[in-house]
Amino acid sequence: MPLECGADPDFQDMVRSFFGRELAERERADAQRGFDAEAWEQLDEMGFAQLTASEDRGGSGASLAEAVALLYAVGGHGVAVPYAEHDLLAAWLTEQADLPPVTGPTSLVILPGATAGAPAPGDAFSAPVAEGVERLLAVRLDAGGGAFAGGTVIDLAAMDFDIVSTEYTAAEARSGIRLNAAAPQPVAIPADVARELWLRGALARSVQIVGALDRCVTEAAGHAAVRVQFGRPLTRFQAVQALLADASAEAAVAAAAVEWAVVAWLEAGEPTVEVERAIAVAKSCAAHAVEPVTRNAHQVLGAMGTTLEHDLHRFTLPPLLWRDEFGSARDWDAWIARDAVAGGGKLWAKLAPIS
């Protein structure tokens, strides 16, 4: 079920109507792969593309709660649009870095390797949803002493890079990018902006994961209820019941952790240390849930779930990418461990104030 994060009920109805009606026929496996320009145009027309951007920069000025409701729906419907990158990340970062506001579809990529300098002509890297976007923000974050010391952002127009390869993973696409012109001058971003960008990305990916995993459970349970083997539905078999129960439990734990992190941010109004702690738990739980939920869903559907004719791969494959972006399970587990040690091992006492 959708995350309960206090989004406006009328807005949630709009989101449900949009994904339930306009995109109902586009969820088949033959829907456009990679960047879905038609879906993006519809989102933009409804004012969803820049939901949280400030009104003086062309946005709607909505809260994080509305953004989470939309992002959850995007993940749960397998729609290939760069909403997280465009609104929650790029639109926010351009305002913080005093760059021109985003207009057309914009993506953002965190470059690997700390303190490795800005990209230069000929450099290559991988970026999400690069095909069809008009602008790409390439960000390098400088880490020092376990925290971000700042970073740089390179504002790239489509003419500044070539797409040399693209790999499609169901509803997601990752493109190999090579700079083909003198890169614009990098713009420095301070430590607090670098930290918040990382936390925004981690929370966004966690919401996307939860949306997709919830859909995996729904698809698997629906299939098991109607599929008959040996004269009875699959739900009558104990082994299938165990697979569904485990998948449901893992997805529910992840959803609870993510919802807790969103509420913590909304209540604090900024990414405090307590909010960062909640995001660490959320991203860890979401990333750890990906493997058991996707595995069990595919086991319930068997060979049918691996075919392009079935929708399941649209919800099992993207989370395998998202779980390692903006910090893997191992990265956030290490963060939680360091935080616990620094507090004398009293982790639950730290979590209690925002529970």
On the 0-12 / 13-18 / 19+ scale of CB atoms within 10 A, 279 is: buried
Q: What is the mean pLDDT of residues 289-300?
A: 97
Residues 227 and 313 occupy one common structural domain: yes
The answer to whether residue 29 is domain-embedded is yes
The answer to whether residue 1 is domain-embedded is no
Q: Read off the CATH number of the domain in which 106 is found.
A: 1.10.540.10
Q: What is the mean pLDDT of residues 273-297?
A: 96
Q: What is the mean pLDDT of residues 4-19?
A: 85
- In tens, the pLDDT along 205-221 reads 999 999 999 999 999 99
Strands 135-144 and 106-110: parallel
In which band, very low, low, confident or very high, does the pLDDT at 115 lie, cut at 50, 70 and 90? Answer: very low
Strands 147-157 and 187-189: antiparallel
Lowest mean pLDDT segment, chosen from 7-11, 96-100, 161-165, 348-352:
348-352
Residues 44 and 91 occupy one common structural domain: yes
Q: Read off the CATH number of the domain in which 274 is found.
A: 1.20.140.10
Residues 214 and 179 occupy one common structural domain: no
Q: What is the pLDDT of residue 118?
A: 64
Residues 160 and 235 occupy one common structural domain: no
Residues 87 and 46 occupy one common structural domain: yes
d(C-alpha 213, C-alpha 209), whole Å = 6
Count of domains for the chain:
2
Residues 323 and 243 occupy one common structural domain: yes
Q: Where in the sequence is the domain holding 332, given as residue range(s)?
A: 192-354
- Which of 143, 162, 189 represents a domain boundary (last residue)? 189
Q: What is the pLDDT of residue 28?
A: 47
Q: What is the mean pLDDT of residues 274-289?
A: 96
Mean pLDDT score of the chain, rounded to an integer? Answer: 86
Residues 336 and 277 occupy one common structural domain: yes
The answer to whether residue 4 is domain-embedded is no
In which band, very low, low, confident or very high, does the pLDDT at 29 lie, cut at 50, 70 and 90? Answer: very low
Residues 148 and 229 occupy one common structural domain: no
Please give the residue that has the higher pLDDT: either 116 or 253: 253
Residues 232 and 147 occupy one common structural domain: no
- The answer to whether residue 30 scores a pLDDT higher than 80 is no
CB 148 within 8 A of CB 191: yes
pTM of the model as a whole: 0.92
Is the CA virtual torsion 239, 240, 243, 244 positive or negative?
A: negative
Long-range contacts of 5-9 (CB under 8 A, 24+ apart): 5/64, 5/65, 5/68, 5/69, 5/259, 5/262, 5/263, 5/266, 6/65, 6/263, 6/266, 7/63, 7/65, 7/66, 7/68, 7/69, 8/65, 8/66
Q: What is the mean pLDDT of residues 318-334?
A: 94
The answer to whether residue 3 is domain-embedded is no
- The answer to whether residue 94 scores a pLDDT higher than 80 is yes
- Which of 156, 189, 222 represents a domain boundary (last residue)? 189
For residue 176, give the DSSP letter: E
Strands 147-157 and 124-128: unpaired
Residues 198 and 174 occupy one common structural domain: no
In which band, very low, low, confident or very high, does the pLDDT at 179 lie, cut at 50, 70 and 90? Answer: confident
Q: What is the pLDDT of residue 17?
A: 85
Strands 147-157 and 161-169: unpaired
Please give the residue that has the higher pLDDT: either 192 or 19: 192
- In tens, the pLDDT along 187-197 reads 999 999 999 99
Q: What is the pLDDT of residue 22?
A: 55
Q: What is the mean pLDDT of residues 236-258?
A: 96
Residue that the structure tokens 């879905």 belong to: 36
- In tens, the pLDDT along 38-92 reads 889 989 998 899 999 999 998 889 999 999 999 999 999 888 889 999 999 999 9
Residue 279: name the closest of 260, 261, 256 by CA. Answer: 261
Residues 136 and 213 occupy one common structural domain: no
Residue 303: name the closest of 293, 316, 312, 314 by CA. Answer: 312
The answer to whether residue 87 is domain-embedded is yes
- Which of 135, 163, 189 represents a domain boundary (last residue)? 189
Residues 260 and 300 occupy one common structural domain: yes
